[in-house]
Structure 1
Amino acid sequence: MDVAFSSAAAGFALGLSLILAIGAQNAFVLRQGLRRAHVLPVVLVCAISDAVLIGAGVAGFGAAAEAVPWLALAMRIFGALFLTWYGLRSLRAAWRGGAAMDAGAGAGSLRRAVLTCLALTWLNPHVYLDTVVLLGSISAQYDDRLSFALGAMSASFAFFFSLGYGARALAPVFARPTAWRVLDLGVGLTMLAIAAGLILGA
Structure 2
Amino acid sequence: MKYLLQGLLFGLAYVAPIGAQNLYVINTATSQSKLRTYQVALITVFFDISLAISCFFGIGLLIDKCLLLKEIILLLGSVIVTYIGIGLIRSTSKVSDSKNGDDSLIKIIASCFAVTWLNPQAIIDGSLLLGGFKASLPSEMSKYFILGVCIASFVWFNSLAILVSKFRSKFNKLIKWINVICGVILIFYGVKLGYSFIQLIK
Give TM-score scaled by structure 2 length. 0.56
| Partners of 1:33 and 1:164 within 8 A in 2 | yes
Question: Between the two proteins, what is the percent identity of the paired residues?
Answer: 29
Q: Equivalent residues in 2 for 1:69-148 (5 A)? A: 104-105=91-92, 107-143=102-138, 144-148=141-145
Contact 2:41 2:158 in 1 (8 A): yes
Instruction: Evaluate the alpha carbon distance shift between residue 32 and residue 131 of structure 1 in structure 2; reply closer, same or farther with a 3 A threshold.
Output: same
Specify every segment of 5 or more residues in structure 2 that has no aligned partner in the other structure, as ranges: 60-87, 93-100, 178-202
Aligned-pair distance for 1:136? 2.0
1:170 CA drift (Å): 4.6
Aligned length: 135
Q: Which amino acid aligns with 1:51?
A: I
Give the aligned residue type for 1:109: S
Contact 1:58 1:145 in 2 (8 A): no
Give 5+ residue unaligned stretches, structure 1. Answer: 62-100, 178-202
Deviation per residue, 1:123-176 (Å, 9 max, x gap): 123431353331121122222111000000100011111112221235448x59
1:44 matched to which residue of 2? 42
Runs of 4+ in 1 over 4 A off after TM superposition: 101-104
Residues 20, 116 of structure 2: 8 Å contact kept:
no
The answer to whether the Cα contact below 8 Å between 1:47 and 1:160 also exists between their aligned partners in 2 is yes
Q: Quote the residue 2:96 is aligned against.
A: none
Change (3 A) 1:54 1:104: same
* Matched residue SS, 1:147: helix
> Kindly tell me: are residues 47 and 165 of structure 1, through their superposed partners in 2, closer, same or farther at Cα, counting changes over 3 Å?
same
SS of 2:51's equivalent in the other structure is helix
* Alpha-carbon distance, 1:50 to partner: 2.1
State the Cα distance separating 1:60 from its structure 2 match. 4.1
TM-score norm. by structure 1 comes to: 0.56
Are the structure 2 counterparts of residues 6 and 21 from structure 1 closer, same or farther at C-alpha, using a change threshold of 3 Å?
Answer: same
More helix as a share of residues: 2
Q: Which SS does the other structure have where 2:18 is aligned?
A: coil
Q: Which residue of 1 aligns with 2:165?
A: 168
